[in-house]
Amino acid sequence: MKKQLLLISNSTNYGEDYLEWPKEHIAGFLLDKNIKNVLFIPYAGIGLSPEGEKEAYNIYAERVRNVFAEVGIRSHSIHLEKNPKQAIKDALAIVVGGGNTFYLAYKLYKLRLMDLIKESVENGMPYVGWSAGANIACPSIRTTNDMPIVQPKSFEALNLVPFQINPHYLDVNPEGHGGETREQRIEEFLIANPGMPVVGLRESTYFEIYNDKIELKGSRPMRFFLYGKRPVEYNPGDDVGFLMKYQYQ
């Protein structure tokens, strides 16, 4: 068994503390492998401080460190490392937080970490990602909900799974909003990329993946989109193994 992934739609449900709902799932995923130290990648969290990138990462790292400590896991942020490449090579597991997916991709390419992370995870290093961290595990970041505040070297991502994830998937438009629904945006993606399936991953749900085995877990169904087909709902516990068998045309 090589690839070991936990891809989570969201970090925090409305009215809850940070990482409250997924922290036990994250702990189970890591501690079952006897992993008690992880490398955290905070690059998506650029908006956490108006004082700039470094302070934003300090804030993010502390938030994650405090929550992980509650479940017996030590978290160290890559932004504190003089040699980020070596930190990835030395890591027991990688945890990628949410935020702005475009900025996350921008930083991973700028620091030349994208290929290294991909290689490490494909060789067995456990990977945990929520929101942007889940989206970056896909073939590309083109199903993110985020504003493109920077232009990364490429929209291509880690390609650890053969399908796209749309995190925080919503079924309805807010009252008074006249723009496109999330489903319409995904349909636009499918028209432009007809060979690539998309999963609308609702909040409080996640994928647990071991090589080519995948399970949908959490409290809500996912919505599966494929070009030319009607969307299909799958509940946690349903067989979604077909997701790992797609080959992009």
Where in the sequence numbering do the catalytic residues fall? 131, 146, 168
Given a contact cutoff of 8 angstroms between Cβ atoms, the answer to whether 116 and 108 are in contact is no
d(CA 145, CA 98): 12
DSSP-derived 3-state class of residue 156? strand
d(CA 94, CA 92): 7
Of 209, 210, 246, nearest to 225 by C-alpha is 246
d(CA 5, CA 150): 27
Q: Do the strands 205-210 and 213-218 form a parallel or antiparallel pair, or are they unpaired?
A: antiparallel
CB proximity list for 188: less than 8 A, separation 6 or greater:
180
Give the chain's largest Cα–Cα span. 50
Strand order in the sheet with 222-225: 164-167, 198-201, 222-225, 232-234
Burial of 107 (0-12, 13-18, 19+ CB in 10 A): buried
